[in-house]
Structure 1
Amino acid sequence: MKLLIVDDGHYVVEYMKHLVDWRSFGIHQIETTTNSIEAREMLNGSLIDILITDIRMPEVSGIDLLHHIHQNNLPTKVIILSGYSEFDYAQQGIRLGALDYLLKPVDKDDVEHAMSKAIQKIQKSRPVHAIDWDHFNGMGYLLSLLAQNETLKEEYDVYAACLADHRYCFFKLEHYTEADVERVQHTVAEPSTSFVWTSGSHLVACIPEETARRFAAEWNQAALSSPFAFTNRNETREHFYRFFLNEDVSSSDFVGLTAFSSVESDSETIGNIIHTYERIANRKHKQIYLMEIITYIYLKDKNQDTTKIADWMFNRLQDPNKFGAILIDMFSRIRINKQMSIQSIVDKVRKYIEDHLSHGLSLDELGKVAHLHPVYFSKLFKQETGENVSNYISRKRLEKASQLLQDSELRIADIAQMIGYRKIQYFIQLFKQEYGVTPYQYRRNMTHQ
């Protein structure tokens, strides 16, 4: 699916573009523009599945874009961005058919909720024959059933009705040849060709029962699972774990591990996730937990080689004690790399603050350092550090003042100027609130120690 983000603020567009993992919602292409006239042309030029637009923009507003979508009978679903002062406009947008509105500064959870609503609306409105099988991924569909990731499941629910015509079997052939792979792929009909993989020394597949039984009869070394229906998630899981991993699972085995789904929003720390895994003693529960990690890695890079993912799922998960540490290490590196870009922004601004304490250090100034809209930078800083920007600046200024009071003979008025306080009485008041004594008393106490 294609997403278009429109806002006349460059910082807002960039912030929105990197705020969530759009691929987890089935978004394969993201277009952005700060020119609302251009946005209207983009709506005309190609199918835009979802539009996220600021409601008030020069020349062409978000309301105008909504009117344009209605007048031209476009299927685009719309989510609007508005400020508190624009609430009446937001309500007007809802009346015109916008699915949701998001108040600035935009919260990640609110965006994900609005996107889930839009995806559900798209899936319900599109007829079965309009399904785009070119973007169907058999690995993603299987993971949507095996794992607890509801976002992934919603993405593939649209295909469920089409796959309900057959019962399927898991198929495994040892010591395959390239000719064997080609034969299976050419024999099964679409979309079953998406369910054929190589895993180590095995050719594995998930194919209609009648075809699978014929293959098993022709290849003596082939193994076949009992038939199951994709439309029954529990049945699919039971057959997968029994056939490939030699474990009997039931729906209750997944209940205690649903907390791992919080990994989608990256709210769980790596340490917490590793600690949870280390506490799991049961082999099959380790396998279920590691399947969630495999799904997370898959979602972060859907273009990666499916042979590797298949090897993890169908082969290496058989020994979770050996494979668990390797997989969690991969997972940790992905999480750390994702955080590094945000952390580097925060570290850069922290360094700037400490080197420029005499400056005004307004949000506008710091936003330019971070290359982010000031409001979004403030929200990001609090999210990453747990501390408001203003509190951090004040704390660093007072720490610098205490150091100068101890290590120099500068006048208190000069110290106040050096750390950005133009009014000495205000500085003295803040210092006393922090240290319990005035700057003069603090220096005298340090001298007599």
Structure 2
Amino acid sequence: MRLLIVDDGHYIVEYLKHLLDWNNMGVKNIRTTTNPIEAKQLLDQAYIDILITDIRMPEVSGVDLLEHVNKNKLRTKVVFLTGYSDFEYTQKAIRLGAVDYLLKPVDKDDMEKSMKKVLKQIEEERLKTNIDWKNFDGLGYLLSVISGHHSIPHDYKLYDDALASETYCFFQVPTARVNDEILLRDNSGGVEHFIWSTDTTIAGIVLKSCTESLANRIDTLTFSDSFHFHQKNTVRHNFYQFFYNEHVSAGEFEWLRDRVVFPNLETGSWESFRKTLLKMYAQMLSGKQKITFLMELIHFLYFTYCQLQASELKDWIFNQLNHPDATFHSILIAISQMEKDIRLSNDDMINAVHAYIADHLSDALSLDELGRVVHLHPVYLSKLYKQETGENLSNYISMKRLEKASRLLIDSNLHVIDISHLVGYKKPQYFIKLFKEQYGTTPQQYRKIRLGRDANG
């Protein structure tokens, strides 16, 4: 969150800047100014979550700044610093929607109480925004938080903000009973998207405030230390400590980043991909290194290839990963299956392209048009087609057009110019040139030769 402190007294601004542990409250960016005109510009230029401002200043007052916030429909929460003589100003500020006001000189406890009030309002408003919790991918979110690699983009900003203010714990029920999952979902504090069940285990994340109630209902339930999602190193440390009893430091993730770069897997390079994985895995000497490597691989596969089944991932993460060698073997088997599925899928796309070409030989048939048929970028379609068939797509189209032209020359009395148009060539001379290159003779000669043979036969 971003905080802006405005007061025409420099020493007051500095005092407030260091009054609280702002970082611990989730305030990562603090701007200060003694110039209220500059403050108005800052409000316009950068989204400010919280404005703490003196209520009376020369030229532009704190009330003026609040009116500016309201006029421009900014979501900035405003807290005023006032003196006993500012009663009328303060009344107006409250009417205009100020969250709170503090009497000068500002006491640390009063400021802390006021900020908690502000943060609560911000959180309530964020939760009311149109966040699609129904389709929220809790497993993907967890993987993005605990991963040491950041090369794969994830658009979780809205969820980051909504989840930032709460305290959470990992949990696990190793021998779950039939009703345990129902109890967990009904008493998780509304975070059902963080509850995952496998054949033998239920695991996931719940609000810390719910842990005592749940522990009283489920005997085998255990919890990790608490964490906030914005403290990613803490989340990662707790995750590995709780589920795998491994202490993973930030330095060990740096070591992993230096040695593990997953290749951009393209169709046709699966065998090379497997060899690369085997080579990288061989460098992992300890159980801890193997487990962290496999979690990074799971993260990479999950966000790169949607063919992976969620049930497989949950089983790897919450059941198998304590036995990394067996898990790695299971992942390699899943990759082989993905390869088969993708190849089948590619065959379907090639067949769809062929069918469309057959029905539209008289059209221009651009790569853009064919790409739209199978929902692929035209450049990727061209590359994929060459990889799967060994020939260029343009050559295939030309071959099919000339094949149709050869049949029309024999089966119809159409002029060569008409046949040229029917197979997609608007310039007959170009059509005749291509036809001669393919069949060794002009269309007219081809017709004469073939019909002569048929008559003699």
* TM interval, short-chain normalised: 0.3 to 0.5
Higher RCO (C-alpha 8 Å, min separation 6): 1
> Normalising to structure 2: TM-score of the pair?
0.47
> Normalising to structure 1: TM-score of the pair?
0.48
